[in-house]
Structure 1
Amino acid sequence: MPLDHTPPLNSLGFAKAPADTRVVVAMSGGVDSSVVAAMLAEEGYDVVGVTLQLYDHGAALAKKGACCAGLDIHDARRVAETMGFPHYVLDYENVFKDAVIDEFADSYLGGATPVPCIRCNERVKFKDLLETAKDLEADCMATGHYIQRKMGAQGPELHSAADANRDQSYFLFSTTPRQLDYLRFPLGHLASKADTRALAAKYGLSVAMKPDSQDICFVPNGDYAAVIRKLRPEASDPGDIVHVDGRVLGTHEGVINYTIGQRRGLGIGGLADPLYVVKLDPEAKQVVVGPKAMLSTRTVPVREINWLGDDDLMSRPEWHIAVRVRSTRPPTDAILRPISATEAEVELLTPEEGVSPGQACVFYDTDSSRIYGGGWIHKG
């Protein structure tokens, strides 16, 4: 029987030495992606660091706490210098504006609650940057996301992070099987963020204690309204605050200042029962309010589905799964009823409040950490 001389798989899953394995690391300048790059460099991989300049970093230089700003590009470069691997900055400003920022503004004005970080992963990082990694003849691309890639019977599977508090599966549901084949997530198995910071300190990285970014990178201080006012001035047009029964209860200074589920700051005091924003109608310039019960949703229409199951989505009339309809909520039991390969109706077994068009509905296995993809909630 001939001897098998195939070398063992390295930590990234390739049957060759780390030194012969090129990996592009998407570096935001934060501690997570910096640790990934440093870890792989120390293991002997042929690491190439790439940072995307996504918007005017001249304006961003004064802003801390958002990824891909000027200071963050500087931090990523310092990590590369410390660990001795090349680092490149790519100008993706126009792509980012067209693929992410403009849609963010338009969907918000359409009464939706967009999640631009998902679109950025889908349309920029895991599309254009991934193709750039292939152009650089990299074997794979690694990121600092907290999610796990595991090999299953039919190829790579997407699984939740070991640390539920850091899990980023909600933001990565649209990762396609082809992308998943090329991507690696070296931090997904870590028990806590403290472990990541300890690794950063071990590697002597200047970003070891750098705070996590809290805001969407192009929304300073979380002020969505200010950004959209700048992009779409008509968002500040005044209009009426209207009860669902048709009564005009007051006026507002632009639908952009309101969100679905909002109760405080409506300026319509003196009512016996509290009212909540249940609908935004930008065309009619109306903020529609009603009782809390109207926020409760059981049926969720979903489209643009990215399905990651082993069996075809249409192979069953119903899938008993768990779904997450907001990034801040745990998965809840649901029934997924496919309409087509990219559309479905999701029945929540326990109704949820504040389910909004424009947000994602992510599918989870009820018996394991596996993610079956997801789709976008629409108005139906």
Structure 2
Amino acid sequence: MTNLAGLILLSLTAASLGTSPHPLVNKSTPQIIAYYGYPAEVHLVTTDDGYILELHRIPHGIKEAQNSTRPRPPILLQHCLLCSSAEFVMNTPDKALAYLLADSGYDVWMGNVRGNTYSKNHVSLSPRQKEFWQFSWAEMGYYDLPAFIDYILSKTQAEDLYYVGFSMGTTIFWAMMNDRPEYNQKVRFMVGLGPVAYVGNAKGPLARASPRVAMIESLAKFFGKYEFLSFGFLMDKILSFACDERLFTSALCRNILFKMTGANREQLNEEFLPVLLSNTPAGTSIWTVTHYFQEMISGNFQKYDYGENLNLEKYNSKYPPKYNLSKVEVPVALFSSENDWLAAPKDVEQLRHELPNVVYHQVVADPMFTHLDFVWAKDADQLVYKYVLKILSVF
């Protein structure tokens, strides 16, 4: 029996025995926020190329009245590859970053880039069309992130905002500043959690798959499959049962997770595991993943490689242009870890060296801290977030 088939069978058995999952399983980001008594808002933003994206907002903390005159600076939280806004709220309010920021006086906004669970609409294209999925994180940096920033500043009438990116949320930030450097004036300060630009030293299953990037793209084209890892309602329900900490099948969920991102059992919040896995993966395009694969092979931080002919058409060059990190003028704080398979220490060091305005860099004290621990760890509040709040207060 395969792992997946076994997971399905065991989860259905658990369901038939009446096992109750965590109350937040299969709840949307706004529903999770509301569950804890915080105000939740949903905003729709249309990009210049027609994608309709969903922004989630916690306008103020739980103890603060909506009509308070206290100024609340806006802050945008941007998720990782295959993630969504849910990454920042899937823990208790004393632990999750979004609530901590809201209770510290910030107006919290959480973006959802094109193609994930919340952003599958377009003014003219359908997700059933391949044209909808012909994007990578390069387009997220050029279109999605500027659209978020402009909308938030217009809505709040603020001159600039704070930005916290996790993993791909940092990648698209660097890409935006390369292509649209005017946005340096719209961001007051940037925090990078598990920051990713170079990925030549990444390890784990994704890194091992990177040499097969051409085959992956060819198979996707042959089978007409352009979306990557969006499980949908049925699989989310299955995972909500099978990954419940009270069932022995939860060990399988942990092992699958550890094989993808590295093991740190001590920091895994097993109570929230079914919640985490019913929200993640949230889906993206094949090109978004293969863009990272291309960089793992080349060792460069560069635009998407379409092949020589299309590169000449798009870039007037046989090779994709490299991103110029010196264009990131915003002051930056980086938080990295020694056991991060995807934001490897050597790659983070190269990033830090090339960014012109890194004002703070902290390596997480826990030597076993992994990539997803930046948003999922039980003690992320003490190991990371308290320092994030402190550095934000300075700027």
Return the TM-score normalized by structure 1: 0.31
Q: Bigger radius of gyration, 1 or 2?
A: 1
TM-score by length of 2: 0.30
State the structure with bigger RCO (CA 8 A, min sep 6), 1 or 2.
2
Structure number with the higher helix fraction is 2
